[in-house]
Structures are given as C-alpha cells and as structure tokens.
Amino acid sequence: MIDNDPKRERVLVAPLHWGLGHAARCIPLIQEQLDLGLEVVVAASGGPLALLKEHFPSLRFVALPFKTITYPADGNMVRHFTWHGLGLMASIWKEHRKLQRLVRSESIDLVISDSRFGLWSRHCRCVFVSHQIKIMSPRFEGLINRLNRWVMNQYDEVWIPDHAQSPGLAGELSHPDKMPKHYRYIGPLSRFAGKPESKSGDSWKVVAVISGPEPQRSIFEAEVARRLIEGGERALILEGKPDDPKESYIDQLTVVHHLDDNRLAEALVSADLVIARSGYSTIMDLNALGVQNVEYHPTPGQTEQEYLAQLHASKGQN
C-alpha cells in the first residue's frame, strides 16, 4: 500500500474510537506493517484497545485521547453535532497538538490515522484512511465536504478501503466527483480476508451484531433482543464488548459480549440470517466472508449508514 524505505522504522496506527469498526479494519493494516518488518505503536482506548490487544498483545499501546462520540436518542444528528461541534473541533485540535509531541517522544516515522482528523504532522509522513470521501448530510453538505477535503489534503496520502472501480462497496461515498489530493484505493479491509467460507457444525438461525456509539447501540440491542425472544428460534447476539467477556441466555437466545475471530466468522457464515448495522467495516467483513443474507439497520440519523443500507439492499444483499 505504501513504498517503505529503510529509514521508515516506526509506525503509529490510530483508529477512531467510534464503536469497534475502525479498530477492526486496522487489524490488516497493522499486520501488513509488521510483515514489512516495521515497528508498530498503537493509539487506542476502551473497546478498540481491548480488541487490538487481543490480536497484537506484544505491541506498544499509547494514549491519544479524543472526545467520546455519542448519538442522540431521537436520531437528530444535525442538531446533535451542531450543539457539540465546538467541542469536537477543540478535541481535533487537541489531538493534533498532542500528536506532535508523540511523534518526537516515540520517534514516529509514519502515522496511519483511520478517520481521526487531527493526526497529521510536518515531522513525519502521515496517511489518512477513510471510505467517506464524500460525507452525506441533509444540511450544509457542500461546506462539510470542503472541510473534509481540506483535512484530507493535510495528509501526505489518503488510503480508500474500497475497490477502485465504482460503485465498489461504498458507492458514492468512496467514488465522488471531487477527490482529495494523493489518494489511492487499497481494496476493502477485513480481518476475515482469506478465512474459509464453510459452515461449521454449530449453526444459528439468526446472528445479530450490535455496534456503534451509545445510546443508539443499546436501543438497537433491546429492539433486536425483543424480536428474537418473541421469535423463539435459536439466535445469537454479539454485543461487541471485547473488554467484558460474558455470556447470558434467555430461552433460545444467547447473548455473548465477544467472540474471537474464528468463532465469529463461523457464527456469521453458519447463520440463516445476519442482522447488523450498515457500518462500512461490518459490510467489508461480511463481504469477505461471502455472507449474503443480511438485514441491515442503519443508525437513525446517520446518513452514511442509511445510504449504505439502501446501496446493498439494491444489490440484493438484504
């Protein structure tokens, strides 16, 4: 994905703390850097930290705080982010300044930022990873996208995790008319790439993958749990909490906080139906596993997920 010279020895990988999706798709990126013989430092916290520590326990992990992202219970994202906009901007600027100190103290040669807007530096090479080259918004879309391109243009390169040929997996989001400077398509990213698509002996009627920021994550889980309990069929809910491994049972419903990659892949491939948010990392994972029978539920008010749900429904994957 990038030409590495002998002087580029230390890489900082920093996923956005917005559910587990950004951390999950950083797993193949981190592995690639390790395969190239580079030293990797990871900036993560909470669930993303637990997930990446599970995969790379020997790596060095550092703190690079960012404002916690929440979603409004009523789904009014425009009002919510207008209200919290100044706090988000302050947090971006704060992480930008802290990165400069971190680059020096950790002797960083390359920064790979997955959707963290403030992680560019003039002291090392910096890469921005995002499929959302175009941000869809019911208001101020033109202004938002000019700001989005301005941020991406601060980086030395933009990596787009999708196929170069439109529509790919992200459609207009990753193939807009206006592109940032120095971009390249690197193909979909999934920790499940290369895993067998065969079913195990243990199968589920329904597997539900719960993800995303609160409070919408818990609202979605409660709705799905009620539906599956009333349905009375053998079902699994994966809560996506790698830092809190527990299991509970309600009749035919099993609720698991976390599964390792192999068990999760087996569960998804074995299911007659997968219920999930239409987050892009989830779409990439299910595509890598060849899972077709998916019921996508976008987070209310999140235009990206609403668009992706419609896109993949039109492809016959819903």
- Could you report the per-residue pLDDT of 238-266, keeping only the tens digit for each? 998 887 767 899 999 999 999 999 999 99
pLDDT at 170: 98
Whole-number pLDDT of residue 252: 93
CA distances from 241 to 54, 140, 258 (A): 12, 35, 6
Establish if 310 belongs to a structural domain.
yes
Digit-coded pLDDT (tens) for 268-287: 999 999 999 999 999 999 99
279, 21 in Cβ contact below 8 A?
yes
**Rounded (5°) CA angle 261-58-113:** 75
Q: How many domains does the chain have?
A: 2
| For the chain, percent of residues with pLDDT exceeding 70 | 86
Tokens, residue 45: 């916290």
Q: Could you say which of 154, 185, 216 is where a domain stops?
A: 185
Domain-located, residue 112 = yes
Q: Is residue 19 very low, low, confident or very high in pLDDT (cuts 50, 70, 90)? A: confident
* Count of alpha carbons within 13 angstroms of residue 71, beta-carbon side: 21
pLDDT tens digits for 120-163?
999 999 999 999 999 998 888 999 999 999 999 999 999 999 99
Question: Could you tell me the two tokens for 194?
Answer: 């290369």
What pLDDT band is residue 222 in, cutting at 50, 70 and 90? very high
Q: 118 with 16, same domain?
A: yes
Residues 24 and 151 grouped into a single domain: yes
Are residues 213 and 133 part of one domain? Answer: no
User: Do 139 and 23 sit in the same domain of this protein?
Assistant: yes
Amino acid at 249: Y
Domain check: are 43 and 181 in the same one? Answer: yes
Residue 222 in domain: yes
Distance CA 25, CA 189 (A): 6
Q: What are the strands, taking DSSP E only, across 51-187?
A: 60-62, 110-114, 125-129, 157-160, 183-185
* Pair (256, 114) in one structural domain: no
- What is the helix (H) or strand (E) element at residue 231, kind and residue range? helix 216-231
- Tell me, what's the pLDDT at 69? 60
One domain for residues 176 and 261? no
- Domain-embedded: residue 299: yes
Cβ(42)–Cβ(52) below 8 Å: yes
Residues 24 and 77 in one domain: yes
Between residues 193 and 180, the one the model is more confident about: 180
Q: Are residues 152 and 264 in the same domain?
A: no
Give the percent of the chain with pLDDT over 90.
72
Residue 95 falls within a domain, yes or no? yes
Distance, in Å, from the CA atom of 98 to the CA atom of 63, rounded to the nearest integer, reads 10
Does 197 have pLDDT greater than 90? no
- Could you tell me the CATH number of the domain that includes residue 115? 3.40.50.2000
Q: Are residues 173 and 255 in the same domain?
A: no
Domain membership of residue 192 (yes or no) is: no
Q: Which residue has the higher pLDDT, 213 or 56?
A: 56
Task: List, for residues 3-15, the tens digit of each pLDDT value.
Answer: 444 454 899 999 9
Same domain flag for 150 and 231: no
Tokens 């991406």, residue located = 152
Is 243 in the same domain as 180? no
Does 21 map to a domain?
Answer: yes
The conformation of residue 69, written as its DSSP 8-state character, comes to P
Give me the residue label for tokens 């989005």.
Answer: 148
Taking the CA of residue 67 as centre, how many other CA atoms within 13 Å lie in the half-sphere pointing to its CB?
A: 18
Q: What is the C-alpha radius of gyration for the chain, rounded to an integer number of angstroms?
A: 19
pTM (2 d.p.)? 0.89
- Rounded CA-CA distance 125/36 in Å is 17
User: Counting Cβ atoms within 10 Å, is residue 306 exposed (0-12), middle (13-18) or buried (19+)?
Assistant: middle
Return the percent helix, strand and coil in the chain, to nearest 5: 35, 15, 45
> Which is higher by pLDDT, 219 or 318?
219
Q: Do residues 294 and 312 touch, judged by C-beta distance below 8 A? A: yes
Residue 199: inside a domain, yes or no? no
Confidence of residue 314 (pLDDT cuts 50, 70, 90): confident
Domain that holds residue 250: 206-314
